[in-house]
Structure 1
Amino acid sequence: MTPSTISYPILDPGKPLAVRAGQTALAVMAKAPRAGKVKTRLSPPLTPDQAADLNICFLKDTAENIAAVAVLGGAAGVISYTPVGDEALFDTLLPADFALIPQRGDGFGERLVATAQDLLSCGYGSVCLIDSDSPTVPRAAFERAMAELQREGDRIVIGPAVDGGYYLIGLKRAHPELFAGITWSTPSVFSETVAAAKEAGMEVVVLPLWYDVDDGETLELLSAELLGDALPAFATVSGYRAEHTRAYLRMLRSQGEEG
């Protein structure tokens, strides 16, 4: 299956559309869901195939959550994907009005700023870069991010994660300084990014604290939230119901009980 025949358009930064100027691109940073290539820190307790299946559930839930925000107007759902050539692995997983854009750059920070640059070049008025590891982010967080970015004036919107990173960063301009020199995959990512924004004289809007699911401990937190209706201790609002993820976790639990 070639890129020209997949279900979703691939955005071209060289072909901006004026109609996008009033929209926020809600862009999920995602790897193509291949077993052994995604959610590797969840193996164990999961097998590589189970981890990939769970990753697909995360992607479906996050995309559906975003689509519900976008349908209200003023936003568009996008998957910023890697690697190039694996576009077909996203086929049928996303809402019909989503689009794809390939990632470029070597390090994580480079890919983030390049995605922001490319989406702004496509004509979008602002961009939210969203992780693919947080399927229960409250919809209100996405709605507030979009609303803040559509106000006059420059600012960043950032959603802190309990591990010290962030699950969302929203911008109206690419601002490479927010991604340069950050010690990625450490507990200081959020604080370093906020410090960089303040040093640049930017307004910072902080969203509700949430969490990424990237190891056995956070998988247990997710299971407690979705199967036990246990709101995380740090949460001030209820999370998204994430029905695809909920159903898959329920199936895994039943298989474990039967085993």
Structure 2
Amino acid sequence: MTTLLVIAKEPVPGRVKTRLTPPFTPDEAARLAEAALADTLEAVAAAPAERRVLVLDGRPGPWLPPGFEVVPQCAGGLDERLAAAFAACAGPTLLIGMDTPQVTPDLLAPALGPNAWQEHGAWFGPAIDGGFWALGLAAPDPALLRGVPMSAPETGAVQLARLDAAGLRVGRLPLLRDVDTAEDARLVADEVSGGRFAALHARLTAATAGSGNGPVRA
């Protein structure tokens, strides 16, 4: 069985999803971040795993379902924080972020099945922006992440090259879109028919359209 990690920030206005502002207010952006995180945690809770761990910058809130361990993120850049999350695990581990509320247990299934690690030493889920939304390692090695440039167009390519250079056979998960900008939010909300994120996005954008004078102050 695999350990499932979710790395996330507490959805505090002004600290999360700042690229959604404008058109959304900081409070609305934080609410969208919370909805995305809640959808992600729900999918992880429904997926088969030995452990489910939330690696959190901040404090847990009512959006956290039962069955998760919560550990704090370490200091440093994102590469160091991801590396530390893997270093705290033993055995096969799959890490995802909070920016893909469209994730489902079925999307995660290839890396979580009984044969997931028999032929693969790593799993990689590419993101449309050039990064990655999922990374799995059969034997967690923090050195595979340290020094990888994060939040850059080449992030995914550099990380994948690290895995290849380590001689790991890499399984591929589907290409997904991270929610970084308002356009990303619209496209992801249109892609999924249910979930908290899509429902909240629909309410916020409908209220904005109805007001005729800018973003809704919900």
TM-score by length of 1: 0.76
Q: Cα distance, 1:148 vs. partner?
A: 7.1
Q: Does 1:97 align with 2:49?
A: no
Secondary structure of the equivalent of 2:16?
A: coil
Q: Does 1:57 align with 2:35?
A: yes
Q: Does the aligned pair in 2 maintain the 1:58–1:133 contact within 8 Å?
A: yes
Task: Measure the CA separation in 1 of the matches of 2:199 and 2:103.
Answer: 17
Q: What's 1:233 paired with?
A: none
Secondary structure of the equivalent of 1:257?
A: helix
Q: Does the aligned pair in 2 maintain the 1:63–1:77 contact within 8 Å?
A: no
Q: What's 1:15 paired with?
A: none
Match of 2:163 among 192, 197, 222: 197
Q: What's 1:28 paired with?
A: 6
Instruction: Give the aligned residue type for 1:254.
Output: A
Q: Does 1:151 align with 2:104?
A: no
Gaps of 5+ in 1: 1-22, 230-240
Q: What's 1:5 paired with?
A: none
Q: Cα distance, 1:111 vs. partner?
A: 0.4
Secondary structure of the equivalent of 2:47?
A: helix
Q: Cα distance, 1:67 vs. partner?
A: 0.9
CA RMSD across the alignment: 1.8
Q: Does the aligned pair in 1 maintain the 2:95–2:135 contact within 8 Å?
A: yes
Q: Does the aligned pair in 1 maintain the 2:126–2:173 contact within 8 Å?
A: yes
Match of 2:101 among 135, 144, 150: 135
Gap change, CA 1:51 and 1:41, over 3 Å in 2: same
TM-score by length of 2: 0.89
Gap change, CA 1:170 and 1:159, over 3 Å in 2: same
Gaps of 5+ in 2: 212-218
Q: What's 1:8 paired with?
A: none
Q: What's 1:11 paired with?
A: none
Q: Does the aligned pair in 1 maintain the 2:6–2:53 contact within 8 Å?
A: yes
Match of 2:128 among 134, 155, 162: 162
Q: What's 1:20 paired with?
A: none
Gap change, CA 1:149 and 1:117, over 3 Å in 2: farther
Match of 2:199 among 234, 237, 247: 247
Identity %: 34
